[in-house]
Structure 1
Amino acid sequence: MAPHDEAFKKLLQAFFAEFMSLFFPELHRLIDFAHTRFLMQELLVDVVGGEKRTVDLLVEVRLRGRNVFILIHLEPQSYAQADFGERMFLYFARLLERHRKAYKVILPVAIFTGSRARDEPDGYSMRFEDERIVEFRYRKLELARLDWRRFAKSDNPVAAALLSRMGYNEKDRRELRLSYLRMLARLHPKLDDAKLALVMSIADLYYGPEAEEDRSILRELHARDPKEAERVMELMPAWKRWGYEEGLEEGLEKGREKGIEAGRAESVRKLLAKGFTPGQIAELLDLPQDEVAKLRDSH
């Protein structure tokens, strides 16, 4: 399984209900999420060709208000594959052969996570002359064809994790990153540390954050809402690795007690102690260098 597909698998296992609510609300309404179970990997062998295929995400669900169980096959796909529709059909046929007595329905869902927007297949057909031999269909989700702005105000953790995999232009990159960081600040009180870390790791895998870009976004956040900037900074381990989080956060903490100017002065001193030059601090805090010097020497 490709690394992105493996990450997506972990996301689905942790947030299956949230995923269905966000992208397949009509199915979400039918499922009793108190009775869902991820099955073990299925190894499907082509007896004739000898090829082995692994199905990783099979979910047993009970329908709401009914004692009926169905099987949902979720197939993440991060790259283009000419015979993908045929592969989904073969998965379905072998799963049907193995599970048809236990489940009334096997529902296949393809999740295309690639970065390029294209019209992906949603089925497989076989014909002879004008006769339809096979007409197989599956549900599909194409992330790159979704408008990220539709999801930017959502409090769904799946939306936060996948926001940067949705369709956006390069000129939207900064705005998207800012929206994502605000989503994290809203989600922080609602998720435990492990789930929040999973959301952030998947989002960063898809987005690829850069130090200078995030430093600029931090300045913008701080200018708009210092408290929101604090909440976001607490969540960003990459910022700690890049070396500018601790001094600024501690300065902002002091700023709540002593006022904005005193807080800035504390930020300057902490950043100087971390080895930042006055020029770098001026850029980070969006202040003139002479103001940095005054704050450095104050108190």
Structure 2
Amino acid sequence: MLPPTLIKEKPHGYTKHDQLFKQLIHTFFDDFLEAFFPDVHQNIDFQSIKPFSEEVYTDLVQGKTRRLDIVVETKLKGTDTVIIIHIEPQNSKQDDFHERMFHYFSLLYNKYRKPIIPIAVFSYEEKWERNLYTMEFPFFHVLSFHYMTLHLRKRDWKNYIRSNNPVVAALLSKMDYKDNEKVQVKVEFLKMMARMELDPARQRLIYGFFETYLKLNEEQEEAVMEEIKQLDNADKIMELPISYEERGIAKGKEIGEKVGKEIGREIGKQIGIKEVALEMLRKEMPIELIAEVTHLKKEEIERLRETL
């Protein structure tokens, strides 16, 4: 089965958030729809998914080039009806986002003339959302454009911890939880990861996404570890290529840098001492005096004299 097309942003407008969400949904497209849009999932043919070429549009009014996020062509299950699915992740509240969704819809429909399922994924803190764009006059209603939405901050993380869906595991980090629940969210996430038994590459993708949005301090991480140790499958969880491995690498790097600086200072000190000894040799001072001043061995001073 061909994967859905990932439509890339221009480099200057392509944020880490965009990249993470697009890579997640692109890799786990089937799982994403199954978890959050089951009606769509049940009615599309995943064997008919085809990649699109990059969708680039120029906004003549604003003078901007726009690249859509995720655009997929497929068929309705059991039919020959070709449809398009457009998914647009949004990480900040924008009052005109509903108009932008209508604009994208219009551009896609104008080009392909096929039915379109538009989906917006909101991940910002505010629980504000809008799923309708209207155009009307006091005397006439022109249109009402609806699109499907997923607002992660409106989802209670506790309702998803029994899931074995990798997208759900990643998106726990963006759901509605309190600061004092972060440790428990992390514990439940690790339990989910252990149950799913994903390949290492997908584990790292899911874990990297989760760690980006749910960050714990050292004390909280220790609390997570204490809870994990009490679980029956603690050994299995500890085998995951998780943040403790990354944190260990970072800590090792930090220690290495400190040691390197100490060694560097010592080397610098030794070089400085030898420069002093060389200068004293140039002035033909006695080796005994040079040894007393620099604390170098006489043999070392003799070797330095041979370099002059």
TM-score (normalizing by structure 2)? 0.73
CA–CA distance in structure 1, aligned partners of residues 136 and 168 of structure 2:
39
Which of 102, 105, 108 in structure 2 is aligned with 1:95? 108
Q: Structure 2 unaligned runs (5+)? A: 1-13, 250-308
1:20 paired to 2:48: no
Unaligned runs of 5+ in 1: 245-299
Using the TM superposition, give the Cα deviation of residue 14 of structure 1 relative to its aligned residue in structure 2, in angstroms.
Answer: 0.7
* Corresponding residue for residue 72 of structure 2: 59
Q: Which secondary structure does the structure 2 equivalent of 1:208 belong to?
A: coil
Aligned residue in 2 for 1:138: 147
Q: CA RMSD in A?
A: 1.7
Looking at structure 1, the residues matched to 246 and 16 of structure 2 have their Cα atoms a distance apart, in angstroms, of: 23
The counterpart of 1:183, out of the listed 177, 189, 192, is 192
TM-score (norm. length: structure 1): 0.75
Q: Which amino acid aligns with 1:76?
A: P
Report whether the alignment pairs 1:50 with 2:63: yes
- Report the secondary structure of 2:142's partner residue: strand
Query: SS state of the match for residue 107, structure 1?
Result: strand
Measure how far apart 1:59 and its partner are.
0.7
The match for 1:197 is 204
1:140 shift after superposition: 0.7
Shift of 1:133: 2.1
Alpha-carbon deviation of 1:69? 1.4
* Alpha-carbon offset, residue 238 of structure 1: 2.4
Aligned to 1:262: none
Is 1:216 aligned to residue 223 of structure 2?
yes
Q: Percent identity over the alignment? A: 36
Taking the aligned partners of 1:206 and 1:176, their CA distance within structure 2 comes to 12
Would you say how many aligned residue pairs link Structure 1 and Structure 2? 236
1:36 and 2:49 correspond: yes
2:164 aligned residue: 155
Q: 2:53 and 2:211 mapped to 1: Cα distance?
A: 28
Q: Does 1:107 align with 2:110?
A: no
Determine which of 229, 232, 243 is the counterpart of 2:234: 229
Which residue of structure 1 lines up, in the alignment, with residue 305 of structure 2?
Answer: none
Alpha carbons 2:204, 2:242 under 8 Å: kept:
no
2:267 corresponds to which residue? Answer: none
What is the CA–CA distance in structure 1 between the aligned matches of 2:126 and 2:61, rounded to whole Å? 35
Q: Higher Cα Rg: structure 1 or 2?
A: 2
Q: CA deviation at 1:117?
A: 4.0
Taking the aligned partners of 1:217 and 1:48, their CA distance within structure 2 comes to 52
The CA deviation at 1:106 is 1.2
- SS class of match (1:29): helix
- CA deviation string 1:205-244 (max 9, x = no partner): 111243332222112211233xx22222221442124449
Aligned to 1:240: 245
